[in-house]
Amino acid sequence: MPSSSETPSAEPVEPARPRGLKGRLFPGDPRIWRVAAVLGAVLAGIVVWQAALVEREYFTGTNSVVGRSVVVTPSDGDRLCQEQLDLPRDTGRIRVEVTPTTPGARLRLSLTADGRRSQAVTPPLATRRQIVDIPVTPMEGAGGTSEGELCLRPTGGAVSFFGVAELQSDATPPTVNGSDVTRMVAIWYLPPAGSERTFVQALPDIIDRAGTVFRPAPIDSWTYLLVLLLLPALGYVAVRLLATMTCESRSRVPLALAIGTVGFVHALSWSVITPAFDAPDEMEHYAYAQSLAETGKAPCQTCLRQPRSTEELLAVDASGVLGYIESPSGRPPWLDVENSRFEQKVREDRPAKDDGGGVTTAASHAPPYYGLLLPAYAIADAFGGDVFSRLAAMRVISALLAALTAAFVFLTVRELLPGRHLAAAAAGLLVALHPMVNFIGGALNNDNGINATLALTAFLLVRIVQKGLTPRRAAALGALLVLAPLVKSTGYAAYPPTLLALAIVVVRQHDRRDLPAWAGLALTFLALSLVWSLLSPEFGRSVYATPDGGAPGSQPALAGSVRNPFAYLSYVWQVFLPRLPFMTDLHVQAWPAYDIYVERGFAAFGWYAIKFSTWVYLIIVAGITAVALLAAKALAAHPQAARRLLPALAVLALLAATVIGGLHASFFSITGDRPVVSEQGRYAFTALAPLGAVAAAACYGLGRRRAPLVAAALVIAMAGLAWASQLLALMSFYT
């Protein structure tokens, strides 16, 4: 971080620029291009190695069901049959997940398809949960599917089969000895034993499957060829922005627009990669938006209405999402025939769009975020779009909010460090290229609304602390304080840092001439609060935008953290650091922060089912540690600048502490017996502005002259992770 004695607008001296075509393609600081070239080549080499040389098992198809629990246990000699299978012609194995109740039990398979019958028997099975692959004879001909029937008969004892308990409305139920089973058995189709392939070999199938099923007309196979090139292109744009920044004086708006555009394109690419509803709680957020669009009312929290409209229920069943989410072996539907069946059922049933609006996990939220989605919903609906077209259109609005978040992070750091375009741009680009931020940004989720709102609030607070409270800033702050909790209740995290910022202003600014600003703040806050208090009953909400409608802090987990402060502090300590000898163990996991902030905070896609190998996350841990150490070193090396920025840094630090502390208080458990981590790293994205400030400080950790090199390394590393993440998602969703 530069010292206060340095010229505010000065950036490190830039070496001579290249001229000619090279200068036009790679303008600006050549050192940044060299760092990007070296690190980019290493990262691209790893990605190409994984994509072109590493072979993996793949599926020829699946019934989009995973083994969540035991769903049926045929006895010795019973016949478990699944009719109307869409069997890929190149299938050479049938996979099921079972637990025999008797040692040595076997499974006899009979598969009829295309007028041919294939039979097989497994070796004796051990009495444990296991994956069983049963070889079958592939059908003649290449490509396509045939309708078939699969029967499995245990011999030598009963065998329990895994699947999901919910029978989708459009599914053909399995039978045991001819009687329907109202559950779904998980079945996977694989090529003959020993068949594996690389991402590159799978690419034709990937782009065909991704663009075929449940996509609006503009999205087709060609879209995914474009998506494959987007991240390298965005990486180039990001490096170009950094390289041309060291000696150019840029106005804020164009640079903020450029960074926001990088974030928008990144989030938009995720919106076409992610299968319908295969993002956390997306079906619930769609139900909310549809209820608001079709009835003008938010979902109710106590009535007996069905949670989703009949139309959405039909689409959710067709997408198969309830049968396969939360499992790395889950796959969405791939086949044209499934799209055709859905379209035919919609034509025949004409399902209602306005009969939902019941209780869901999203129903407790206030309507501002969902109101932003309504124009996209209306436009797609006006052009005859179905559920999936409306979903795709509304995802664009979420992508715009993700773009605004990146732009506001840039503006916050730019306000904190006037003239330091490089550090501010690096902070904004790290958000714009962050894979998890933009995976969520490409989905329906009010996290996108609160992330943008609190990033804007952080920018405004820093500006107020740095430059004072004016009537315009006061009115904007008053409006944001009302709006933030209405977007999502985590918006209350803005209140403590706001109080600190205002206290700082009071100490500095207490002249009578400032009274209009303070009056504007109070009047704006009170007026908008009054408006919401009058509107809230119309939407079935209380004045407090909390899940239970109670005052902030009254919720059981939050109240428990207040009643048991030492246990809560111990709980938070154990999230991040090893348990001390006198502490009660409150976590089953060895290091919860790894699960929450590394895996789920950087790269865990779908419903947190798609993840990298452990070594990738260990590199991320090393990167986080390096950034923290570099930021601390920068502050220690420039004490005068740190003291000058202390008020603004304190406000940002309090925002981060409130977000993180509130996150863990919401899930606080005094018993320590939770089998899984409930906190999700995406909930910390409301603190992206202070986290961006840490990254900006880290750029100066090796000195002012090396700041461009550190910034380039951080940005290109994030771009590489983003590219690898999208390739991983494509491979995991569509092969």
Tens-digit pLDDT profile for residues 230-248: 999 999 999 999 998 754 4
What does the DSSP assignment read for 240-303? Answer: HHHHT-SS----HHHHHHHHHHHHHHHHHHHHHHSPTT-STTHHHHHHHHHHHHHHSSPPPSSS
What φ, ψ does residue 470 adopt, rounded to 5°? -110, 165
pLDDT for the residue numbered 9: 41
- Confidence band, pLDDT 50/70/90 cuts, at residue 7: very low
Q: What is the DSSP letter of 703?
A: -
How many CA atoms lie less than 13 Å away from 177 in the CB half-sphere? 8
CA–CA dist 696, 634 (Å, integer): 10
Rounded to the nearest angstrom, the gap between the alpha carbon of residue 658 and the centroid of all alpha carbons in its chain is: 22
Q: Is the pLDDT of residue 196 over 70?
A: yes
Could you report the per-residue pLDDT of 413-458, keeping only the tens digit for each? Answer: 999 998 788 999 999 999 999 999 999 999 999 999 999 999 999 9
Using alpha carbons only, what angle is made at residue 443 by residues 439 and 447, rounded to the nearest 5 degrees? Answer: 85
pLDDT for the residue numbered 247: 46
341 contacts 322 by C-beta, under 8 angstroms: no
In a domain, 287, yes or no: no
61 contacts 145 by C-beta, under 8 angstroms: yes
In a domain, 101, yes or no: yes
pLDDT for the residue numbered 18: 62
Task: Give the pLDDT mean for 568-592.
Answer: 91
Highest averaged pLDDT of the listed ranges 54-63, 338-347, 536-545:
54-63
CA–CA dist 502, 700 (Å, integer): 29
Could you report the per-residue pLDDT of 461-509, keeping only the tens digit for each? Answer: 999 999 999 999 999 999 999 999 999 999 999 999 999 999 999 998 7
Task: Give the pLDDT mean for 644-648.
Answer: 95
Task: Give the pLDDT mean for 565-573.
Answer: 92
In a domain, 89, yes or no: yes
pLDDT for the residue numbered 10: 45
Q: Is the pLDDT of residue 575 over 60?
A: yes
CA–CA dist 707, 478 (Å, integer): 37
Q: At what angle do helices 30-52 and 221-243 cross, to 10 degrees?
A: 150
Task: Give the pLDDT mean for 589-615.
Answer: 95
Q: What are the helix (H) ranges across 536-564?
A: 556-563
Could you report the per-residue pLDDT of 77-129, keeping only the tens digit for each? Answer: 999 999 988 899 889 999 999 999 999 999 999 999 888 888 999 999 999 99
| 607-621 b/e (C-beta count within 10 Å ≥ 16 → b) | bbbbbbeeebbeebe
Task: Spell out the residues 6+ positions from residue 467 whose beta carbon is closer than 8 angstroms to its own.
Answer: none
Indicate the number of domains in the chain.
1
Region for 214 from its dihedrals, namely left if φ exceeds 0, alpha if ψ lies in -120 to 50, beta otherwise = left
What φ, ψ does residue 7 adopt, rounded to 5°? -65, 125
For residue 144 the two structure tokens come to 């396509």
In a domain, 96, yes or no: yes
Q: Is the pLDDT of residue 649 over 80?
A: yes
Q: What is the CA radius of gyration of the chain?
A: 28
692 contacts 412 by C-beta, under 8 angstroms: yes
pLDDT for the residue numbered 621: 98
| Token pair 């003239």: residue | 419
Edge-to-edge strands of the sheet including 80-88?
116-121, 106-113, 145-155, 80-88, 175-176, 179-180
Q: How much of the chain exceeds pLDDT 70, in percent? A: 95
Helices (H) and strands (E) in the chain, counts: 26, 15
In a domain, 669, yes or no: no
Strand segments (E) across 536-694: 604-605, 610-611
Q: Is the pLDDT of residue 4 over 60?
A: no
Task: Spell out the residues 6+ positions from residue 643 whose beta carbon is closer than 8 angstroms to its own.
Answer: none
For residue 646 the two structure tokens come to 């202390």
What does the DSSP assignment read for 184-197? Answer: EE--EEE-STT--B
In a domain, 639, yes or no: no
Task: Give the pLDDT mean for 518-537.
Answer: 94
For residue 413 the two structure tokens come to 């750091």
pLDDT for the residue numbered 673: 67
What φ, ψ does residue 510 adopt, rounded to 5°? -135, 45
162: domain CATH number? Answer: 2.60.120
In a domain, 74, yes or no: yes
CA–CA dist 34, 32 (Å, integer): 5
CA–CA dist 137, 119 (Å, integer): 8
pLDDT for the residue numbered 253: 59
CA–CA dist 592, 598 (Å, integer): 10
pLDDT for the residue numbered 1: 55
168: containing domain: 61-190
| Token pair 């760092």: residue | 35
Q: Kindly state the greatest CA–CA separation across the chain.
A: 91
Q: Is the pLDDT of residue 6 over 60?
A: no
In a domain, 547, yes or no: no
pLDDT for the residue numbered 16: 56
517 contacts 474 by C-beta, under 8 angstroms: yes
- Confidence band, pLDDT 50/70/90 cuts, at residue 5: very low
Could you report the per-residue pLDDT of 295-324, keeping only the tens digit for each? Answer: 999 998 778 889 999 999 999 999 999 999
For residue 718 the two structure tokens come to 């994030």
CA–CA dist 494, 303 (Å, integer): 32
Return mean pLDDT, the chain.
91
pLDDT for the residue numbered 141: 67
pLDDT for the residue numbered 643: 92
Dihedral angle sign, alpha carbons of residues 405, 407, 410, 416: negative
Q: Is the pLDDT of residue 583 over 60?
A: yes
Question: In this structure, are strands 184-185 and 604-605 parallel, antiparallel, or unpaired?
Answer: unpaired
Task: Spell out the residues 6+ positions from residue 315 whose beta carbon is closer than 8 angstroms to its own.
Answer: 214, 276, 277, 342, 386, 387, 388
CA–CA dist 356, 439 (Å, integer): 27
For residue 393 the two structure tokens come to 């259109």
